[in-house]
């Protein structure tokens, strides 16, 4: 079946450093790629998304890049802060209904 691979599974950075999380997907028809942040004990919440007609999207300290040829996309967080500590999930849409397949998550720890 279709799948999304996410790396790394854990990431520890110093406050102020950048963090990069990478995902690859298998369904060449996927055209929507959201990123979700989940704090401990909370629900996942959308932080940024990108569609296949766009190569890069930025929102303040967060950016996402998409390479459709290589079927991978990445999340970049600059100037990390302790409140960025959470689990981040990438996802890709599959099928005609646009169901989301999620990666297994990256636990980001930002040390003060």
- Could you list the residues that contact another protein (CB under 8 A)? 1, 6, 9, 31-32, 34, 42-46, 49, 51, 89, 91, 93, 96-105
CA 4 to chain centre: 11
Nearest-approach distance from CB 108 to another protein, in angstroms: 15
At 55, give phi and psi (nearest 5°).
Answer: -95, -25
Count the neighbouring beta carbons within 10 Å of the beta carbon of residue 38.
Answer: 15
Nearest-approach distance from CB 22 to another protein, in angstroms: 15
Nearer to another protein, 14 or 60 (CB): 60
């Amino acid at each position: 079946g279709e799948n999304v691979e996410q790396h790394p599974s854990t990431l520890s950075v110093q406050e102020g450093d950048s963090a990069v999380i990478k995902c690859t997907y298998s369904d060449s028809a996927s055209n929507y790629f959201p990123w979700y942040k989940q704090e401990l004990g909370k629900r996942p919440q959308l932080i940024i998304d990108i569609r296949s007609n766009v190569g890069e999207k930025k929102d303040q300290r967060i950016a996402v890049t998409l390479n459709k040829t290589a079927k991978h996309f990445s999340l970049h967080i600059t100037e990390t802060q302790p409140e960025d500590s959470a689990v981040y999930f990438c996802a890709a849409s599959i099928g005609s209904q646009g169901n989301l397949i999620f990666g297994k998550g990256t636990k980001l720890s930002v040390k003060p």
